Structure 1
Amino acid sequence: MALLHRAELRPTKLALLTAWLPGRPWYTGPETADIERVASYRFDDPAGAVGIETMLVRAGDGPVHQVPLTYRGAPLDGADDWLVGTTEHSVLGRRWVYDACADPVYAAALAAAVLADAGQAEEFFEVDGRRELREPSMTITGTGTGGGDVPALGAVRRVVWGDPTLIVTDTVELAVVRRLDGGHQPAGAMLTGTWDGQLAPLPLAYARPR
């Protein structure tokens, strides 16, 4: 479950991405257009410390890009190269926003979604002491066995930029598709998604044992 706050962020997540995304080697699209949100989904951090959100965004008439993000209350050691930026959250204070592909908390959650169909986190707003469900903007499905065992990943050993972006752990290699243009047809266990305007499932990520 993801408990969301009706809060103000300065700068906003989209403002951070507008400045950061054009510099990525896997980005295709105009360099000066504002980034627009298409859809998103979240994973749970079992420890409740790290926010995990994957945003689908588009710049102008460019393709839809997938950008996994993690939100932390302190810097992630050794991850300076993957820092998207910092933002001031009106409830939680300063948040460090990372490209989640370098975050071990995201890697574990993604592996569970791909290999065990763990699904996305339900999102709630707390309003006047009660919780209101936020309807999901997309649907994700893992092709692995629902409720199956997921191997302990160990450390994130290497992240290889590109489309897909590869996350190499001790036991599993994960691949995150960046441009959701239907050009990827991976074999094996994968995570697929649909959203408004995209009714046929497209690959979002896949995994293979090392």
Structure 2
Amino acid sequence: MAVIHRTTLKPTKLELLTSWLPDRPWYRGGRGAPVLVKSGGFRLDDPGGEVGIEFMVTTDTSAAEPTAYLVPLTYRGAPLDGMEHALVGTTEHGVLGKRWAYDGCHDPVLVTQLLCLIQGTAEAMAQSVSDTPDREVTRSHTGEPFTARVAAPEPADDEHGTRLAAPHGTTLHLNRVLTPGPGDPSPGRDAVGHVIAGWSAPDGTRPRAVFARLTAAAG
């Protein structure tokens, strides 16, 4: 189980994301820098105990209509070979020292554990409390069982979000811009698996949305 340390980060995660986020194709903001607040999310455990895995929701409050973004992140104690393009930034952790923060869609540990969560062989954990499951996160899988391990993910980003090839010809979609829905929104008819979770909106409500969905191979 991951241990959540109550300590400092310099720069903070939000400071790293403020400069990283505007370059993403799915970013909806204008020319000015985003004004980000941490709005929620959850964690997954790395079975190897080496990689921190976080699905962060951050809300850009710089416009009249706030926008919530899903930012999967991994935290490592050393650089990930060949993944300079996926680096969000480095930060100094008050307990663990220097940490390399990556866009988790490029990290095989995060993608593998997300597929395990969808299939029901991993459990969503609280974002800020050690050893505590997050019961608010729901998941489903109706397809064939599969081996979830992904050795080298190749994510593709566009204005709609991120998609990755997954086992047995399926496709994993991550909704980077979260659209609130009443109750548990539908992941779509073509989905054979999904993850739904909530976050705290600036108006005090707690909306829920589809964070990720797995779709079957065409045909």
Q: Give the TM-score band, short-chain normalised.
A: 0.7 to 0.9
Per residue, is there more strand in 1 or in 2?
1
- What is aligned with 2:140? 143
1:6-45 correspondence to structure 2 within 5 Å: 6-30=6-30, 31-45=32-46
1-structure distance, mates of 2:150, 2:91: 30
Contact 1:16 1:84 in 2 (8 A): yes
2-structure distance, mates of 1:178, 1:22: 13
Contact 2:165 2:172 in 1 (8 A): yes
Q: 2:195 aligns with which of 187, 191, 207?
A: 191
Residue deviations 1:43-69 (CA, integer Å, cap 9, x gap): 010001000011101111431110000
Q: Does 1:202 align with 2:202?
A: no
2-structure distance, mates of 1:58, 1:21: 11
Corresponding residue SS for 1:87:
strand
2-structure distance, mates of 1:102, 1:16: 17
Q: 1:33 to 1:20 in 2, by over 3 A?
A: same
Corresponding residue SS for 1:16:
helix
2:6 partner amino acid: R
Q: 1:124 to 1:193 in 2, by over 3 A?
A: closer
1-structure distance, mates of 2:167, 2:153: 7
% identical aligned pairs: 37
Corresponding residue SS for 1:156:
coil
1-structure distance, mates of 2:127, 2:212: 22
Corresponding residue SS for 2:67:
coil
1-structure distance, mates of 2:42, 2:146: 21
- What is aligned with 1:174? 172
Task: State the aligned residue count.
Answer: 200
- CA shift, 1:91, in A, is 0.8
Q: Does 1:160 align with 2:156?
A: yes
2-structure distance, mates of 1:15, 1:54: 17
Residue deviations 1:117-145 (CA, integer Å, cap 9, x gap): 733124676xxxxxx77795x82111126
1-structure distance, mates of 2:136, 2:211: 11
TM-score (norm 1): 0.83
* Structure 1, unpaired ranges of 5+: 126-131
Q: 1:208 to 1:156 in 2, by over 3 A?
A: farther
2-structure distance, mates of 1:48, 1:207: 26
Residue deviations 1:16-71 (CA, integer Å, cap 9, x gap): 01111111110112432321111120001000100001110111143111000000
1-structure distance, mates of 2:153, 2:107: 11
Q: CA RMSD in A?
A: 2.6
Contact 2:157 2:163 in 1 (8 A): yes
- What is aligned with 1:118? 122
